[in-house]
Chain A
Amino acid sequence: MDESVREAYHFHQTDSYNILNIFLYVETKATTRMKPRVLMLGWEHPPYFNGGLGVASTALAESIKPHVDLRMVVPKSGITAKVPAYELIGLNALQLPPRRITVKREVKEQLKKVKLHYVEVDLQGYENVPPQVRQVPMGSDFITITKVIEEDKEVEGPFLIDELYGHDLYDKVIEYTEIVAEMAKEWEFDIIHCHDWMTFLAGLELKAATAKPLVLHVHSLQYDRAGPESRDLIYQIERHAMGQADAILPVSHYTSDIIQTYYGISPEKITPIHNGLNMKEPYRSEKPFPENLVVFLGRITGQKGPAYFFEAAKKILEERKDMRFMLAGKGELIDKLIQQAAEEGLGDRIHFTGFLEPDRVRELLAMADVYVMPSVSEPFGLSALEAAHMGVPVILSENAGVKEVLNHALAIEYKDTDRLARMITSVVDDHLWKQRIVQGQKADLKSVAWSNSGKQVVEVYESLLS
């Protein structure tokens, strides 16, 4: 029996008159002492987020809040509709003391083109040089080049970060690490909980300074983003930090396997914890067009496999025209895919919506006939849960963590675009099958909740502190 409870029990026997007060006293005392104080380090927080990381770390923070004292530090916070239940510190909103940082600046420079002088030369074997080769191109006498200049400078005041994942990401990560390490000297906490590599260095600094247990939440790895061959700086940071960590919480068993296989981390300290789902009431709506609608949702980047979606779309559109394909999201491959759509003459059937606000995503899912997630490597895949919740049959890559939750979704080898094409058309044409998938997915979702994920996280804290 816990000592405080025993104490209360004792009072109860000797002084029944005052029992209510004493119980209240004991409860406050017990919770104050037992609630672990968690310092959580994140990189994305609404309204500034890029993808699953921002959604998941925020939802998780909310779900563990009842059980812990939580302070969360992010590079950038802003005004949101909902005030978080935990203490949120956005470094962009603080007057920070002076510090040295490296800044890169792009400088445009105009260079005068070199004047060309033409000399008559007798070139043997080149008799057929066409006359236009000798023409001087028209246009400006100048060319503009862009140089990047690196400068060390002292700054003070707020941490300024324009894009969360800009070209200066490394520099921003270092600056974040230094600021957090400095600020945390004033704080008391029992656990350090980091979300993804951008915050791992700060976590390591704090662990070194305080010897408090370090928990690393893994939403995505360099393995996923850059491929299995990647051994770059980010991979090194991930590997080193996971080696030092006391507990690692990947979002799936799929990611847990990668952490063991590609990062050589021993399984004892890994606890996979699936993401939950926060969604408003699902609804379905009529499409404004008669064609079947197939949806890809996510960043238009190699990892997410938009090119495989495109390939499958192309194969289907060769056979039939009663289909529309929409890619919702932005990313560096978008122009290339638009170009390909034009080359194939499919620009009227393969559409790009750009980034969509959450309500527009729901509108899209409410009309969708099939949702496809052909990721090359997907640690979890929250949007597949959203699609399932909105009643859309889901086709997943075999390499997606969410498959462990969504048992009734269909799965394919992401490269097998023939099979993907066949699967899409079968689902569209076979209404009964489509309904069965949708119903099965709804059943799968019953066990999915952020409160469950939060509970598991708190259990890990408890085991580290006992």
Chain B
Amino acid sequence: MPDICLYFQAHQPHRLRRVSPLDIGRGQKPFDTYLNSQILHRVADLCYLPMNTLLKKLILAYPSQFSVAFSLSGCLLDQLGDWRPEVIASFQELAATGRVEFLGETYEHSLSYVFDRDEFDRQLNAHREVIHRLFGQQTKVFRHTELIYTNSLADHIAQKGFRGILTEGADRLLEENSPNRLYSSKGLNPIPLMLRDYRRSDDIAFRYNDPEWEYSPLDPNVFQGWIHESEGDLVNIFMDYETFGEHQSDHSDLFTFFSQWIEQAVVSNQFLLPSEVLEKHIPSDSLDVPDYVSWADTSRSLQAWLGNELQQDALRKVISLKQSLCRQHPEIWRRLLQSDHFYYMATGEGPDAEVHEYFSPYKSPYDAYLVYMNVLSNLESSL
């Protein structure tokens, strides 16, 4: 029976305020505090609090078999601190069970490794500090925003003291190989590499109650059957935490599904924390990933954030303001690096575009670009 590693990504961006070009220079605040707080309250009530309660219940019921890992972005923690501190307290309760591990990431859920290593290190350290301060844990395993990965990233974070790293089990990396084993990175300082099983993860995250899917709504027995059939000895199920109660419209079902599945799985499978995976499993092969991979879109690349001219121009512009804006308003500048701003600007059609549209607070990618550029122009002219 394969071991199972569950990891949930919890994140909320700082969505931008719509500044009219007519008001450039009038010094409006860059973030839409009202919208952000509304969304945070909604997600806290629908997902974070009830799901934390459920996870705690499952951990207390199966303390030696069940465990779960989280990565909480710094921008989420900032917003929770501002508006819903009891959610942080509930994560602290989970941490206190000893069966929860927090992963390392960039504080602002940014793409900083791709364009600015100094900034990346700064965000990585800031995130390490906040996790240590709030949960008393030293992060040991790293995941970059949206599981972005390449050989050199593994080398880089190995030097920063991380012992392992997560990424997407993308077909083009694996070719005929299974994602259900521990691999190692390829480079000067090889570290273990955990790959997401996108099929099993997306069964829950995307397909669970998709009316077009023949297995919908997914039955816990059927799902557990697929886990059993998995080749290999490790199934990594990674997804957005907001899948529960927020992304999926009929939330009560999914909570029930999840707890029923866990109750079945703990009978035969061991749930491991990422750092436990690294101790118990031995990497079989090294995986060569010279180009960037991620868990986003069908392309599984950086396409979702940097694939078009709108995104590239916006990124160029914000980078160009590092000297001026970052010096005066470092927090604002960092928040403008959040990957979500660029994600909203992705153009294209088909299923990927629908996912982008679901998350975007804007009318279109062009609209998202205008909002971003107007905010930047507004800030720039206030310097």
Specify which of A110, A137, A290 is in contact with B212 (CB 8 Å cutoff): A110
| A353 located at the interface, meaning its Cβ lies under 8 Å from any Cβ of chain B in the complex | yes
Interface size on B, residues (CB 8 A): 32
Stretch at the interface among B100-108, B332-340, B368-376: B368-376
Q: A217 vs B268: C-alpha distance in the bound complex, in angstroms?
A: 82
A139/B350 in contact, CB under 8 A: yes
CB distance from A392 to the nearest CB of B (A): 14
Specify which of A132, A142, A287 is in contact with B25 (CB 8 Å cutoff): A287
Specify which of B20, B313, B350, B352 is in contact with A347 (CB 8 Å cutoff): B313
> For residues 85 through 144 of chain A, which have their beta carbon under 8 Å from a beta carbon of chain B?
110, 132, 135, 137-140, 142-143
Specify which of B25, B212, B309, B316 is in contact with A289 (CB 8 Å cutoff): B25
B24/A288 in contact, CB under 8 A: yes
On chain A, the residues within 8 Å of B366 by CB distance are 334-335, 338-339
On chain B, the residues within 8 Å of A334 by CB distance are 366
| A343 located at the interface, meaning its Cβ lies under 8 Å from any Cβ of chain B in the complex | yes
On chain A, the residues within 8 Å of B312 by CB distance are 342
On chain B, the residues within 8 Å of A353 by CB distance are 20-22
Could you give, for residues 350-383 of chain B, a 1 whenever the CB lies within 8 Å of some chain A CB and a 0 otherwise?
1110000000000010100110011011001100
Q: A428 vs B251: C-alpha distance in the bound complex, in angstroms?
A: 60
The A interface, classified by DSSP as helix, strand, loop or mixed, is: mixed
B172/A348 in contact, CB under 8 A: no
In the complex, the number of residue pairs spanning A and B with C-beta atoms less than 8 Å apart equals 81
A289/B369 in contact, CB under 8 A: no
Q: A348 vs B374: C-alpha distance in the bound complex, in angstroms?
A: 7
Q: A347 vs B24: C-alpha distance in the bound complex, in angstroms?
A: 13
Interface size on A, residues (CB 8 A): 32
Decide yes or no: A342 and B21 within 8 Å by CB, A139-B350, A142-B212, A335-B364 being known contacts. Answer: no
| B260 located at the interface, meaning its Cβ lies under 8 Å from any Cβ of chain A in the complex | no
> For residues 309 through 335 of chain B, which have their beta carbon under 8 Å from a beta carbon of chain A?
309-310, 312-314, 316-317
| B229 located at the interface, meaning its Cβ lies under 8 Å from any Cβ of chain A in the complex | no
> For residues 318 through 348 of chain A, which have their beta carbon under 8 Å from a beta carbon of chain B?
324, 326, 334-335, 338-339, 341-343, 345, 347-348
Could you give, for residues 358-375 of chain A, a 1 whenever the CB lies within 8 Å of some chain B CB and a 0 otherwise?
001001100100000000
Specify which of B172, B298, B351, B352 is in contact with A132 (CB 8 Å cutoff): B172
B172/A339 in contact, CB under 8 A: no
On chain B, the residues within 8 Å of A140 by CB distance are 212, 351
B369/A342 in contact, CB under 8 A: yes
Nearest A residue to B175, CB-CB: A131
CB distance from A290 to the nearest CB of B (A): 8
CB distance from A116 to the nearest CB of B (A): 15
On chain B, the residues within 8 Å of A288 by CB distance are 23-26, 381
Decide yes or no: A364 and B22 within 8 Å by CB, A343-B313, A348-B317 being known contacts. Answer: yes
| B171 located at the interface, meaning its Cβ lies under 8 Å from any Cβ of chain A in the complex | yes
A345/B172 in contact, CB under 8 A: no
On chain A, the residues within 8 Å of B316 by CB distance are 345
Nearest A residue to B321, CB-CB: A348
Nearest B residue to A367, CB-CB: B22
| A65 located at the interface, meaning its Cβ lies under 8 Å from any Cβ of chain B in the complex | no
Q: A287 vs B23: C-alpha distance in the bound complex, in angstroms?
A: 9
Q: A138-B298, A324-B24 are in contact. List 14 more A-B contacts (CB 8 A).
A: A137-B298, A289-B24, A289-B25, A289-B381, A326-B22, A338-B370, A342-B308, A342-B313, A342-B314, A348-B376, A348-B380, A351-B370, A353-B21, A364-B22
Which A residues fall within an 8 A CB radius of B? Answer: 110, 132, 135, 137-140, 142-143, 287-290, 324, 326, 334-335, 338-339, 341-343, 345, 347-348, 351-353, 360, 363-364, 367
- Residue contacts A-B, CB under 8 angstroms, 27 given: A135-B172, A139-B298, A139-B350, A139-B352, A140-B212, A140-B351, A288-B24, A288-B26, A288-B381, A289-B381, A290-B25, A335-B364, A335-B366, A338-B310, A339-B366, A342-B314, A343-B309, A343-B313, A345-B313, A345-B316, A347-B313, A348-B317, A351-B24, A351-B374, A353-B21, A360-B20, A360-B22
Question: Which 6 pairs, one residue from A and one from B, show the smallest C-beta to C-beta distance?
Answer: A288-B25, A351-B21, A289-B25, A342-B313, A347-B373, A342-B309
